[in-house]
Structure 1
């Protein structure tokens, strides 16, 4: 997988515009990933067909009991920082880039990634398979 970091954007509108442009260039929505905090994730999911991964430090789906447990355990912001960093690494981002963009996502920016090898109409095998047509010659 050849993940390309498209950019980090301060607003949802900018990120949505970038995703729209990528789709117009031939990127399939399932090959585009957005990293954002929970403030942006729901709206981005509604406005795009793209997978949105969220910052784990702000989990809205937690129950009251889970939130109370978190207070009394050693779960800290650094744990969520590490978890987000690992999500970026698992998505194909380099270690150096993951450090930089983890801070940006936690600060509220929206990170857009795309797999540049999987554009619509771009067959990954097209470079290795050659189709030759047999020519019938009359003598």
Structure 2
């Protein structure tokens, strides 16, 4: 059987090449954000997953490993590593065991709240740099568009 020529699939929108696609541009923006956050958080002895976990726990104390993993976009196995690191640094409290079930609720320690507060300034400055590039009247629309994109890919 001879190999047939590949079928040409038209792009979903006018694009010169792969670098012009929406997905590529989203990934490029995400990579730039991640690099900036990695650099800023290094000064606070945190990684992006550590920081994300602290932010979520500040807003929703008592979440389980699985809930934290979902909220911070990592696997449960990765969250185990993140939580272990945060616990060793005495930034979070987790009971050794629970009376019922397996989920061990996690909360920030005083040092965890202090470290989060110190790191927030750096991270919020990065977000401010992103936002100032978007004309004010377009920011709400951009946020709504990003939410619609996420929903379209998860529903």
Tell me which interval the TM-score lies in, with the shorter structure as reference length. Answer: under 0.3
Q: Which has the higher helix share?
A: 2
| Structure possessing the higher relative contact order (Cα contacts under 8 Å, 6 or more residues apart) | 1
TM score, norm. by length of structure 1: 0.25
TM score, norm. by length of structure 2: 0.24
